[in-house]
Structure 1
Amino acid sequence: MGSCLIAGAMTLALASPGFTLSWTHSVEKITWRESWAITGTGLRLAEAAVKGSGAGMEPGDGAVLRNGWWVWVPDLPELAELHLAASGATGAGWRLCDSAGTCHEIGAAPGRALRLAPCGATE
């Protein structure tokens, strides 16, 4: 079953309601990865992982080391939308991939925060 996500001015068709966001921390140069699910009412963070630790990159409560990644399930409420900073300081943007392995780079240029929301969500 496919799904749809608004990413800034783009509409992305996804292979499933799940997607992964990954990026490199602008100071520590450490990779961070989050798995998200599009629900009927918003976005739910299902899992987070960091490839090390450093300033602002500490693994969350209950994290376990798995294949070189600190992995945990954050205890956070569902969000109606997600805003991603677009600082341009990392040399790349956010990498958004669906379950079929189709990936998009978003937010690479410095500018306003990038809004992610399920299709049909109002701003």
Structure 2
Amino acid sequence: MIGLCLGLTGAVWAQLSISHFTLAWNHTIEKIRWEEDYRVTEQGLVLEEARVRGNGAGMEIPPDARLENGSWHYRRLMPPLQPLNLGRTPEAGDYQLCFNGQCSSVSQWVGAPTYNQPSLQMWACDAGLLTGADY
């Protein structure tokens, strides 16, 4: 079974037995929520759709985006990400990981963002071969 691993440079800090998830965060300057929906595949994490609730500095809305329920929805055509690299610092706040109808801070699985560890990777992994957290 394919699942989601969280860690850095191949070291697994947490493993989630999920097939899809939403990654969400607030833009550090504009304080506007972004959401990206991913599907976990053997090839990596496939970005299916993204949403943003406004625009501002560094937040250009793609020309093909559609406004729906207060958010701009759009799709980016890109190959599967393996890994997905995330920057994490204390002043930026944390990402949220949403699945099974609930959102939780990524720090629930890997600890709070710190200056000593300012990044995190997420990748598709074989959930059957790993031990650790299983959600």
Q: What is the TM-score with the length of structure 2 in the denominator?
A: 0.77
Superposition CA RMSD, Å: 1.9
Give a deviation string over 1:6-35, Cα, whole Å, max 9, x none.
112111222xx1110000011111100000
1:21, 1:33 within 8 Å by CA — same for their partners in 2?
Answer: yes
**Count of residues in correspondence between the two structures:** 116
Q: What is the TM-score with the length of structure 1 in the denominator?
A: 0.84
Listed as ranges, the gaps of 5+ residues in structure 2 are 8-12, 128-135
Shift of 1:101: 1.7
Structure possessing the higher radius of gyration over alpha carbons = 2
1:60, 1:74 within 8 Å by CA — same for their partners in 2?
Answer: no
Task: Provide runs of 4+ in structure 1 moved above 6 Å.
Answer: none
Match of 2:5 in 1: 6
Listed as ranges, the gaps of 5+ residues in structure 1 are none
Higher helix proportion = 2
- Give % identity: 37
Match of 2:118 in 1: 112
2:2, 2:126 within 8 Å by CA — same for their partners in 1?
Answer: no
Give the secondary-structure state (helix, strand or coil) at the position aligned to 1:119: strand
Match of 2:74 in 1: 72
